[in-house]
């Protein structure tokens, strides 16, 4: 079945343009004009990806993003934020709210399509029937679940891929650029700082109950998953 994309946008002209380009690329489309409607639609339609405008009436796109991440059924759905804001700080706020990517208006349809394909590819479920373990971490690659000890760890899709990559090579230090290539893909331009944002989120989820930190920051080099230093 064709992937379903939810467009959350209040500007009719932009919705028309997006619908035209996405349908031409083989996607099915469902629309919402504001955040409340978006939260209702996701419950019934289960989209494969959400294009979410930041500036929406009533509830901001950022708040919609946070709410989607809080719900079990939409926790893993890829979200791309559309925004007229181009500030670096805004980008970080968008990613902190749980978005997978961020695109600044005006954008070309070609650029958007490339981002959508990249985000979809990254979130495609792994077909291996394996699990990864490290110390008290357990990652089920089929069920997409992570446990630390007896506790379930809830991760966004980007954090999941980041952790999977680190857990595949325990002890090995990866630079931000290497992580960008492995986790985000080579064809997407993402600033290296984005890696720090997602590492911070990953740490928070993994160490949320004051467990020892399994992620090692190697100053001016990058990150590794490693035995905690005592």
Q: Are strands 4-8 and 28-32 parallel, antiparallel or unpaired?
A: parallel
**Segment near Ca ion (CB under 5 A); pick from 54-62, 118-126, 176-184, 222-230:** 54-62
**Segment near Ca ion (CB under 5 A); pick from 7-15, 115-123, 137-145, 151-159:** 7-15
Are 173 and 222 contacting, i.e. CB atoms less than 8 angstroms apart? yes
Nearer Cβ to Ca ion (55/59): 55
The CB-of-57 to Ca ion minimum distance in angstroms stands at: 8
- What is the per-residue binding string for Ca ion in 11-50, x denoting contact by CB under 5 A? ----------------------------------------
The CB-of-39 to Ca ion minimum distance in angstroms stands at: 17
Which residue number has the CB closest to Ca ion? 55
Question: Looking at 53, 100, 159, 226, which residue binds Ca ion (CB under 5 A)?
Answer: 53
Residue 54, Cα to own-chain centre: how many angstroms?
16
**Segment near Ca ion (CB under 5 A); pick from 8-16, 29-37, 125-133, 213-221:** 8-16
Rg of the chain over CA atoms, in angstroms?
18
The CB-of-11 to Ca ion minimum distance in angstroms stands at: 5
Closest CA to 71 of 95, 39, 97: 39
Question: Looking at 55, 120, 141, 224, which residue binds Ca ion (CB under 5 A)?
Answer: 55
The CB-of-171 to Ca ion minimum distance in angstroms stands at: 46
Are 75 and 69 contacting, i.e. CB atoms less than 8 angstroms apart? yes
Nearer Cβ to Ca ion (53/101): 53
Is 10 a binding residue for Ca ion by CB under 5 A? The answer is: yes
Alpha-carbon span 114 to 33, nearest angstrom: 24
Alpha-carbon span 119 to 79, nearest angstrom: 8
Closest CA to 223 of 193, 179, 190, 183: 179
Alpha-carbon span 205 to 160, nearest angstrom: 11
Is 135 a binding residue for Ca ion by CB under 5 A? The answer is: no
Are 223 and 215 contacting, i.e. CB atoms less than 8 angstroms apart? yes
Q: Point out which residues pair with 32 in neighbouring strands.
A: 8
The CB-of-53 to Ca ion minimum distance in angstroms stands at: 4
Binding-site ranges for Ca ion (CB under 5 A) = 10, 53, 55
């Amino acid at each position: 079945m064709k992937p379903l994309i939810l467009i959350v946008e209040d500007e009719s002209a932009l919705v028309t343009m997006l619908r035209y380009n996405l349908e031409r690329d083989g996607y099915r489309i469902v629309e919402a004009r504001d955040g409340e409607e978006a939260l209702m639609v996701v419950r019934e339609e289960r989209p494969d990806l959400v294009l979410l405008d930041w500036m929406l009436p009533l509830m901001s796109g950022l708040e919609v993003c946070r709410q989607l991440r809080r719900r079990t059924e939409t926790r893993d759905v890829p979200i791309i934020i559309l925004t007229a804001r181009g500030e670096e700080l805004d980008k970080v706020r968008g990613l902190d709210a749980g978005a997978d990517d961020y695109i600044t208006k005006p954008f070309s349809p070609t650029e958007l399509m490339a981002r959508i394909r990249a985000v979809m590819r990254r979130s495609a479920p792994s077909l291996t029937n394996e699990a990864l373990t490290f110390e008290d971490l357990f990652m089920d690659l089929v069920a997409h679940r992570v446990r630390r000890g007896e506790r379930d760890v809830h991760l966004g899709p980007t954090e999941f891929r980041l952790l999977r990559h680190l857990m595949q090579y325990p002890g090995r230090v990866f630079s931000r650029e290497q992580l960008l290539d492995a986790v985000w893909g080579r064809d997407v331009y993402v600033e290296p700082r984005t890696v720090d944002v997602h590492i911070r989120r990953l740490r928070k989820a993994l160490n949320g109950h004051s467990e020892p930190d399994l992620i090692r920051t190697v100053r001016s080099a990058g990150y590794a998953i490693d035995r905690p230093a005592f």
